[in-house]
Structure 1
Amino acid sequence: MSSFLFRIGRFSFRHKWWVLGAWVAALAVVFSLISALQPKFAQDFEMPGTDGGTAMEQMEEYFPAITQQQTEASTNIVIAADNGLAAHTGEIDSLVADLKKLPEVTEAGTIANPVAVAQAMPDKAASVLGDDGRVGLISVHQGIDLMDVTVDDKDAVLDVLAEHRADGLQVEATGGVMQAMEQGGTAELIGFAVAFVIMIIAFGALIAAFIPLVTGIVGVGLTIGLLTLAAEFMSVNQTATAIVMMLGIAVSIDYALFIVSRYRTERARGGDPADAAGRAVGTAGTAVVFAGLTVVIAVAALMVIGIPLITQMGLGAAVAVVVAVLGGLTLIPALLGAFGKYAFTPRIPWIKQAAPKPDAVTMGTKFGQSVSKRPIPFIAGGLIVLVAAAIPIGGMKLGMDMVSDDQVAGQELIAQGFGEGIGGELFVVVHSDDGTVDKAATATVDGIKKLDGVVAPEATMWMGNGTTDKQNPNVDADSAIVVVTPVSAPSSDQTHKLMEEIRGLAPAAEAAGGELHVGGQTAIMSDLSAKLDSALIPYIAVVVGLAFLIMIGVFRSLWVPLIGTLGFVFSVLATFGITSWIFTDGALGLIDHTKPLLSFLPIFLVGVVFGLAMDYQVFLVTRMREEFIHGLSAKEAIVAGYRHGSRVVSSAAVIMISVFAAFMLAPDTTAKMMGFSLAVAVFFDAFIIRMIVVPAALALLGDRAWGLPKWLDKLVIDFDIEGSKVRDAGVPSEHAERAEAM
C-alpha cells in the first residue's frame, strides 16, 4: 500500500494544478446542484419497524388531515400572572390581536383570550386555564411546514411576546416555530481560529499552518454539500449535520497536520520535493488511511441499529472522514506543490524547536524517558484519574429532551398550569381491515380511562374516519384515533410506562376486531430510546471486533490492540461520568437547564470516540513500531516515538478538542452536548490513554509487545504501514540514514 500511496502523493505534487482544479470543480458541481434543486432537511424522526412507526404510517394513510396538521407549526403561547389572568384581560386581548397578525396564521378564530373562553365555554375551561386562573394557554397554528420554519418566523413570535410582557404578565412560547434552529457559524470559526494558532506553533511558519485549514474548509464544505444534496433524494434530518460538521473539521485538519509534518521531515532529508511528498503520503498517509478506515467502520456501523437518524449521522460522518482522507492524500501534496519552497515560510522566530533535530532533547523526549523508566506509576495515575471521572456515571439518565433553552420557561408554565404532558400527546390508532372499528375503539377508550397518569381520563374519546353520517362521522369508520395527554413529561419514565400500558390494550382491541398502535412524537422518541438501549452491546461488539482485527494487521501485535481497546473503555466511561455530572447534575454551572443525556449520545459517542482513539493509537504507536523494527530497543523506540510524534499528536488532539468544545456555543442542545462530550472524550483518550497509559504498558511489556504468534503472523497481511518500501525513495545516498528531523 505504501508504494501505491507514494505514487499518489508524487503525482498530486507534480500535477498540482490538475488536482486542485478537480477539487474546485467538485465543489462547484455540488453547490450548483444545490442552488438549482434547493433541497431541504427533515426535522422529524422516523422509526420504521416499530410500533410507533406503524402508528404514524396508519395516521398518514387514514387520517391525512390530522397528519398534515402535525407537520405544520403549532406554537403554544403560555401566559401567567400571580394575581390571576382576569386582572390582565385588556393586555391579553391586545396580545391575541397581535398573534392573529402573524404570517400564515390559520384558524385565527381559535386564537382567543383563555379567560374569555373559560367564561363562555365552561366545558373547555380546563384546557385553556389552569392553576386557579393564573396560567393560560393560547394555541397559534400557522400554515408553515415544520421543515420550512425559519429563525425569522421564530423572531416574529418572540417580538410579539416581548411587546406584551408588562405589569406582572409573563408571556412565553414553546413548540411550533420555537423549534427553528439557528444557523451556526461561530463555533466553526472559533474552531478554525484555534486550529490555526496551534498549527503556527507546531510548524513555526504561517503558510504551513494555513495549508491544513484549506483542506479542512474544502473537505467540510464538500461533505456538507453532499449531505445537503442527498436531502433532495431521501429524508435527511437536520440534526445529522452537527456531528458531520464537528467530525469533518477535526479529522480534515488532523490528517493534514500529520502529512504536512511528515513532508517537512522528508524535505529535510533532501532529494526531489515531489519524492518527499510521495514519501510523506506513503508513510504518514498510510497511517491516515488506516486511521480513517477505523473511524469509518465505527461510524458506518451505526447502520446496524436501524434508526434512520442514527444511520444518517453515521453515514454522513463516514463521508466526512473519507473526504478528509482523500484530501490528505491528494489535496495536501497538491497545495505543497503549489506553494513550493515557500511552504514553510515565513518563519516565526520566537517559536523554538518547530523542527527538532534527531538528537534534540525535547519535552516529548523527556516525558517519554520518564514513562519508559517508571511505567507502573504512570499507568496507575492515569487510570485513577479516569476512574474518578467515571464516578458520576451512577446517576446518568438518558432521555430525548431536545427542548431548547428559550422554550424551557414556557414548558415550566405549562407544567404548572396543565401538567407536563401538554404538547407530548400520545396518538392511539385503532384500525380494522374487516368491518367497522367501533367495538375495538370503544374497548380501547374504556381501557385508557382506567389507567393512571392520563390528563382528564373521563373526557377521553375516539374519533373515526367514517363519513357516511355528517352528524356522526364515527359511523362505519374502519380506523379510529384516540389522543391521550400524559400527566408526566414526554421524556419521563412515567410516560414511557403509560405508553406501554396502552400498548398492552392491544389484545382487547384485537379481540374486538381491530389492531392497536401508539404513535406521536413522544412515542417515537420513547421507541428510539428503547431501541438504542437494546442495540448498544451488539454495536460495540461489531465495532470493537472489526477494529481489533484491523489493528492486529496494522501493528502486527496482539498486545497493542488489546491495550488500546481496554484503554478506550476507561476513557469512554470517564466521558459518560463527566458529561452526566455537567448536564444532568448541573455541576460547575456550565448550562442553565439540566437535562438527561440524549439517548443516542452513548452509542454515537462510542462509535466516534473509538474511531478517534484508534487514530492517535495509529499515529503515535506506528512511529514507535517503525523505530523498533529498524533496530532500536523497545524502550528506545518509545522515546523516539515521543520525539517524532508527541508534538504533532498533541497538536492534533488540542485541535480536535478545540473544534468540539467550540460547539458548546451552538444554540441547540444536541450540538452543545455532543460537542462537550466529544471534547472531553478526546482529552481523556489522547492525553491520558494514548500519550501515557499505552506507551507505559508497552514499556512494561518490552519486546513482547511487538510480536505475533508464528501461526498468526503467517495469516496476517503485511500492510507496511511504516512505509518501509518507500522510506528512502528518492533520498540521496548520503542522507539515507535513519536519523530524521521532525
Structure 2
Amino acid sequence: MAALLHRLGAWAHRHRRIVLVAWLAVLAGIGALSATAGGSYEDDFSIPGSRAQQTLDTVSHEFAAASGASAQVVFVAPEGLEVAGQKPVIEQTLAAAAKAPQVAGMVDPFAAKMISPDGRTALANVNYAEKSAQLADGTLDALEDAFQPARDAGLRVELGGSAYANSSDDSGQGAEVLGLLIALAVLVITFGSLMAAGLPLLTALLGVGATVAGLAAASGALTLPTTAPAMALMLGLAVGIDYALFIVARHRSQLAAGMPVAESAARAIGTAGTAVVFAGLTVVIALAGLAVVRIPFLTAMGLSAAGSVVVAVLMAVTLIPALLGFAGERLRPKPGSRAARREAGRPSLGSRWVRLITRRPLVTVVTVVAALGVMAAPALGLRLALTDNGSAPVASTQRQAYDLTAAAFGPGFNGPLLVLADLRDGGDATALPGKLGAVDGVAAVSAPQLSADGRYALLRVIPETGPQDERTEQVVADLEAAGGPSVAVTGSTAIALDISDLVSASLVPFALIVVGLAVLLLLLAFRSIVVPLKAALGFLLSVGAALGAVVAVFQWGWFADLIGVSHTGPVITFMPVILMAVLFGLAMDYEVFLVSRMHEVYARSGDPRRAVTRGFGASARVVAAAALIMVAVFASFVPAGDATLKPIAFALAIGVLLDAFLVRMTLVPAVLALAGHRAWRLPRSLDRVLPNLDVEGARLAEPAKTRRAVPVEVVR
C-alpha cells in the first residue's frame, strides 16, 4: 500500500495543475447538481417490521386525517381571568387558522372540553394531512399569524405539537467559526508557518463543501435525516484537518532533514498517507456498521458521515501533494528557526512526558484505568429517548407550548398514544374506552373513531406521564395487554419507545463488532497481539467515560447551564452508537499515528524502550495538535441549540479529549513500555498467514533497486 500511495503522491505532485483543476471541476459539478436536483431533508423515524410501525401504517391507510402532523395551540388567559371570557376571539382566530395553508382540520377546545381545571388554559388542535417535514415553507408562520388577534386581546398563545418537530433554533449557528479559528491557531503554533497551517484548513473546507453539496443533491432522490449535513460538516471538518495535518507535518519534517520537495511529497503520502488511508477506512467501516442497528434513518446518517470521511481521505492523498508542489521550498523550515530546531530532535514537552509516564509504567496504567473507570460509572444510568419539543430552546414557542400543556393538563398530553383495535373478529368498540381507561397510568381516553368500512376503531389515549418518562413504556405494554391481541398501540411516542429499545439492545453487539474490527485491523497493521488488545481496551474506557460525562451533564444537570442545556432527561437515542462509531475511527487514527512511529523505531533499533520514547517524541506534537483541533471543532457545535446534535457533539469532544490524552498519549506508551519486546511479537502461525500492510511505509526506505523509482522534479 505504501509503495502504491508513494507513486500516487509523486504523480499528483508532478501533475498538480491537472489535479487542482479536476478537483475544482468536481466541486463545481456537485454544486450545480445540488442547486438543480436537490431536495429537502426529512426525519423518518420508522422501524420497518416493528408492530408499532405496522400499526401506524394501517392507521395512515384507514384514518388518513390522523396520520399527518398536528399543531397544539395553547391559549392562556391573564392571571385572575378565564379563557371562557375570551371564547368569541378564540373561535374567531380558530376559524381564520382553518383557512391557513395546508390545514386539514381543527379541534375546538370548547367543543372538546379541553379547558384546564382552573379555567385559564384552553388547548386546541390544528391537523394537517402532511407530515411535519412535508409542510411548505411559511405554513407554520401563516398559522401563527392567524392567532395574532387573540394575542392582541390579551391572551397568551403558544404553538407546539408534532408540526414543529423539525423546527430548530438558529441562535448558535456560526459558532463553528470559533472552532475553525482555534484550529488555525493550533496549526500555526504546531507548524510555525501560516502557509503550512492554511493547507489543512483549505482542503478540509473544500472537502466538507463537496460533501454537504453532495448530500443536498442526494436528498432529491433519497430520504436523509435533517442531522445528516450537520454530522457530515462536523466530522468532515475534523478528519479533513487532521488527515492533512499528519501529511503536511511529515512533509515538513522531511524537508527539515534536507529531502528534495518532490521526493518528500511522495514519501509523505507513502508514509503518513498510508496511515491516513488506514485510519479513514476504520472510520468508514465503523460508520457503515451502523446498519447493524437496522434503523433506516440511522443507517442514512452513518453513510452520510462516512461519505465526508471518504472525501477527506481522497483530498488528503491527491490534492495535498499537489498543493505541496505549488508551495515548493516555502514550506521548508528556515535554518535556525524554532521549527527547524524542533525537527532536529531537540528535547520537547512530548519527550519529557513520555519519560515521566514510562518511568513507572504500572503505576501509570493503574491510575489511568482507575480514573476512566470512575468517570464511566454514571454511564450505568444512561437512558435513551428521541427528542421532542421538551428539548427545544426555552424561548421557542414549541417549548413554551410544551411546558404550558404539561402544567395545565398533565405531561401525558404532550405525548398522546394512538390505540388501533381490529374489529373484524367481532370486537366491541364501545367497550374499549372503559377497558383502556382502567389501565394504571392512563389519564384520559377518547371516544372510538371507526374506519370507513367499520373494520377498525381508533382511540386517543392520554397517559399520566410524559413521552420520555420510563413509566410511559409500561403504560404502552399494559394497554396492549388490556385490549387483547386485536389491540395495538402506535403513534410517535410508541415508535420512539420501540426505537430506544432497539438501539439499547444493539449497543452490545455493535460494540463487539467495533472492538473486534479494531483488534483485527491493528493485528494486520502492527503484527502484534499486545497492540490491538491494548487499543480495544482503551477504546472501551474512552467510550465509557464519555457516556458517563453525558449522563452527568444531560441527565443529572451537572454544569448544564455552561453549555446551554435547557432540559435534562434521557439522551437522544442514537447518540451512543454514533459516539462508538466515530470515536472508534478517531481513536484508531491516533493509535496508528503514534504506534506506527514507535514500530518504525523498533524495527530499526530493536530496543523497545527507545522505540516508545523516540517514536512518541516524533509524533506526540502532531497527535496532540490533531486532538485539540478535533475537540475544538466538535465543541463548537455544542452551543448550536439543536437538541439532537448537542449531546453527540459534546460526547465526541469529551471522548476525543480523553482518548487522545489519557489513553493514546498516556496509557498506550505505558503499556508498551511495560510489555517490552512482547509488544512487537506475533505468533509464528499468525505471522505466516497474515498479510503485511506496511502501514508505516518501511519498504520505502529500501534501496531504490528494490522498488520502482520515482522521478524527482526540481521545484523552482
Give 3-state SS (helix, strand or coil) of 1:136's partner.
strand
2:73 is equivalent to residue 76 of structure 1:
yes
1:455 aligns to what SS in structure 2?
Answer: strand
Give the aligned partner of residue 2 of structure 1: 2
Partner of residue 677, structure 2: 703
The answer to whether the Cα contact below 8 Å between 1:203 and 1:355 also exists between their aligned partners in 2 is: no
TM-score normalized with structure 1 length: 0.87
**1:195-223 Cα shifts (integer Å, max 9, x gaps):** 11111111111111111111111211222
Query: Is the CA contact (8 Å cut-off) linking 1:554 and 1:719 kept in structure 2?
Result: yes
Structure 1, 703-712 or 582-591: larger mean CA deviation: 582-591
- Comparing 420-429 and 5-14, the one that deviates more: 420-429
- Can you list the C-alpha shifts for 1:2-55, whole angstroms capped at 9, x where unaligned? 000001111111111211222222222222122112311113311101111111
Judged with a 3 Å threshold, the aligned counterparts in structure 2 of structure 1 residues 133 and 326 are, in CA distance, closer, same or farther, namely: same
For residue 204 of structure 1, what is the aligned residue in structure 2? Answer: 192
- 2-structure distance, mates of 1:92, 1:367: 72
Within 5 Å, give how 1:114-513 maps onto structure 2: 114=109, 117=110, 121=111, 124-125=112-113, 127=114, 129-141=115-127, 146-148=132-134, 170-175=156-161, 176-177=163-164, 179-182=166-169, 185-343=173-331, 352-353=338-339, 356-403=342-389, 404-405=392-393, 406=396, 407-431=398-422, 436=424, 439=427, 441=429, 445=433, 447-457=435-445, 460-466=446-452, 476-504=453-481, 507-509=484-486
What pairs with 1:573-584 in structure 2 (closer than 5 Å)? 573-584=544-555
Aligned-partner Cα distance in 2 for 1:706–1:21? 44
Q: Deviations over 1:157-189 (max 9, x none)?
A: 778889977998544332224642346741332
Letter in 2 for 1:428: V
CA deviations on 1:286-322 (whole Å, 9 max, x unpaired) are 1111111111121111101100121112111221111
1:138-171 Cα shifts (integer Å, max 9, x gaps): 3345677522558866666778889977998544
SS at match of 1:573: helix
**Residue 525 (structure 1) aligns with:** 496
Shift of 1:521: 1.0
**618, 623, 626: which is aligned to 1:644?**
618
Inter-CA distance 703–558: structure 2 relative to 1 (3 Å threshold): same
C-alpha separation between the residues in 1 aligned to 2:143 and 2:182? 36
- Is the Cα contact below 8 Å between 2:252 and 2:331 reproduced in 1? no
Structure 1, residues 379-409: CA drift from partner, whole Å, max 9, x if none? 2332233233223334433222333123333
SS where residue 484 of structure 1 aligns? strand
One-letter code of the match for 1:418? F
Aligned to 1:470: none
Q: Deviations over 1:450-505 (max 9, x none)?
A: 31222323xx3322222xxxxxxxxx423332222222111222221122223335
Tell whether the 8 Å contact from 1:372 to 1:699 is kept in structure 2 after alignment: yes
User: Which sits farther off after the overlay, 163-172 or 395-404?
Assistant: 163-172
Query: CA offsets, 1:340-369, max 9 Å, x none?
Result: 233469x899x9447613331111111112
1:381 to 1:98, Cα distance in 2 relative to 1, 3 A: farther
- Structure 1 residues 230-253: Cα deviation after superposition (integer angstroms, max 9, x where no partner): 222222111233322211111111
Offset of residue 632 of structure 1: 5.1
Q: How does 1:681-700 map to 2 (within 5 A)?
A: 681-700=655-674
- Segment of structure 1 superposing worse, 484-493 or 141-150: 141-150
Amino acid of the residue matched to residue 354 of structure 2?
A: G
| Residues 251 and 321, structure 1, Cα contact 8 Å, conserved in 2 | yes
Structure 1 Cα separation of the partners of residues 701 and 92 of structure 2: 75
The 5 A counterparts of 1:84-99 are 84-86=81-83, 89=86, 93=90, 96=93
Q: 2:26 matched to 1:14?
A: no
Contact 2:594 2:623 (8 Å CA) reproduced: yes
CA gap of 1:703–1:5, structure 2 versus 1, over 3 A, is same
Structure 1 counterpart of 2:708:
none
Q: Which position in structure 1 is the counterpart of 2:714?
A: none
Unaligned runs of 5+ in 2: 706-716
Q: Verify the 8 A CA contact 2:514 2:581 in the aligned structure 1.
A: yes
Give how far 1:534 is off: 1.2
The answer to whether the 8 Å contact 1:104/1:144 transfers is: no
In 1: Cα distance, 2:499 partner to 2:227 partner: 15
In the alignment, structure 1 residue 33 sits paired with structure 2 residue 24: no
Letter of the aligned partner of 1:315 in structure 2?
L
* 1:276 to 1:353, Cα distance in 2 relative to 1, 3 A: closer
Q: CA deviation at 1:427?
A: 2.0
Greater CA deviation, 293-302 or 139-148? 139-148
1:105–1:301: structure 2 CA closer, same or farther, 3 Å change rule? closer
- Counterpart-to-counterpart distance in 1, 2:191 and 2:255: 14
TM-superposed CA distance for 1:625, in Å, is 0.7
Q: Which amino acid aligns with 1:137?
A: L
How far is the alpha carbon of 1:446 from its aligned partner? 5.2
C-alpha distance in structure 1 between counterparts of 2:219 and 2:508, whole Å:
31
How many angstroms apart in 2 are the aligned matches of 1:161 and 1:661?
39
State the alpha-carbon separation in 2 of the partners of residues 95 and 665 from structure 1: 40
After superposition, give the CA deviation of every residue in 1:104-137 in whole Å (9 maximum; x if it has no partner).
26368x486x5xx2xxx4xx32x2x113212222
Equivalence for 1:735: none
Residue 40 of structure 2 aligns to a residue whose secondary structure is coil
Structure 2: distance between partners of 1:86 and 1:412 = 18
Q: Distance in 2 between matches of 1:178 and 1:57?
A: 20
Quote the residue 1:555 is aligned against.
526
Report if aligned partners of 1:426, 1:519 keep a CA contact under 8 Å in 2: yes
8 Å contact 1:95–1:160 — kept in the other structure?
no
| Residue pair 1:54, 1:517 contacting (<8 A) in 2 also | no
Contact 1:150 1:180 in 2 (8 A): no
Written as runs of structure 1 = structure 2, the 5 A alignment for 1:624-703 is 624-631=598-605, 633-703=607-677
The 1:99/1:221 distance shift into structure 2, 3 A limit, reads farther
Deviation at 1:74, TM superposition (A): 2.3
- Rounded to whole Å, the distance in 1 between the matches of 2:327 and 2:49 is 54
Contact persistence 1:105–1:140 (CA under 8 A): no
The reply to whether residue 542 of structure 1 matches residue 528 of structure 2 is no
2:624 aligned partner, one-letter code: S
Query: Share of identical aligned residues, percent?
Result: 36
**Hey, what does 1:513 align to over in structure 2?**
none
Structure 1 residues without counterparts, runs of 5 or longer:
467-475, 510-515, 732-742
In structure 2, the residue matched to 1:62 is 62
Query: 1:94 deviation in Å?
Result: 10
For 1:603, the equivalent position in structure 2 comes to 577
Structure 1 residues 393 and 353: CA distance shift in structure 2, 3 A: same
Aligned with 1:40: secondary structure?
coil
